[in-house]
Amino acid sequence: MKKRALISVSDKTDLDFFAKELYALGYEIISSSGTAKYIKSMGIPVLEVSEITGFPEILDGRVKTLHPKIHGGILAIRDNEKHIKQLEENDITPIDIVAINLYPFEATLKKGADLDELIENIDIGGPALVRASAKNYKFVAIIVDPKDYKIVIEELKNNSEISIQTKKKLALKAFRHTAIYDSIISNVLNEKFEINEKFPEELTIPVRKKQTLRYGENPHQEAALYISPIEDRFSIAGAEILQGKEMSYNNYLDVESAVSLIKEFEEIAAVIVKHNNPCGVAIADNIVDAYKIAFSRDPKSAFGGIVALNRKVDLELSKALTETFLEVVIAPDYTEEALEILKSKKNLRVVKINNFFEEDKGLDYRRISGGLLLQDKDKQLYKELQIVTERKPTEKELEDLIFAFKVVKHVKSNSVVIAKDKKTLGIGAGQTSRVDSLETAIKKAQEFGFDLEGSVLASEAFFPFRDSIDYAAKYGIKAVIQPGGSIRDKEVIQACNEHNIAMIFTNMRHFKH
Neighbours of 105 (CB within 10 A): 21
Rounded Cα gap, residues 379 and 360, in angstroms: 9
The SS3 call for residue 278 is: strand
Q: Does the bond joining 507 to the residue before it have cis omega, within 30 degrees of 0?
A: no
Q: Which residues of 354-363 are buried (b: 16+ CB within 10 A; e: fewer)?
A: eebeeebeee
Annotated catalytic residue within 20, 83, 135, 169 = 135
The question of whether 245 is a catalytic residue gets the answer no
Considering only CA atoms, which of 394, 395, 393, 359 is closest in space to residue 482?
393
Q: In DSSP terms, which residues pair with 373 in a beta bridge?
A: 366
Q: What is the 3-state secondary structure (H, E, C) of 378-443?
A: CCCCCCCCEECCCCCCCHHHHHHHHHHHHHHCCCCCCCEEEEECCEEEEEECCCCCHHHHHHHHHH
CA distance 63 to 448: 73
Chain CA centroid to CA 269, Å: 24
- Of 275, 292, 312, 343, which one is the catalytic site residue? 275
| Distance separating alpha carbons of residues 148 and 9, to the nearest angstrom | 14
Own/partner contacts of 197-202, CB < 8 Å, gap of 24 or more, are 198/363, 198/376, 199/374
> Is 166 within 8 Å of 154 (Cβ atoms)?
no
> In Å, what is the CA distance from 91 to each residue of 7, 47, 86, 130, 449?
20, 16, 8, 22, 89
Q: Which residues pair with 328 in a beta bridge?
A: 306, 349
Checking phi first, is residue 428 left (phi over 0); if not, alpha (psi -120 to 50) or beta? beta
Q: Is 507 left (phi over 0), alpha (psi -120 to 50) or beta?
A: left
3-state DSSP assignment of residue 61: coil
Query: Which 8-state DSSP code applies to residue 63?
Result: B
Element (H, E) at 243: strand 240-243
Contact 246, 285 (CB under 8 A): no
Conformational region of residue 194, where left means phi above 0, alpha means psi within -120 to 50, and beta covers everything else = left
Active site residue 275: yes
The catalytic residues are 135, 275
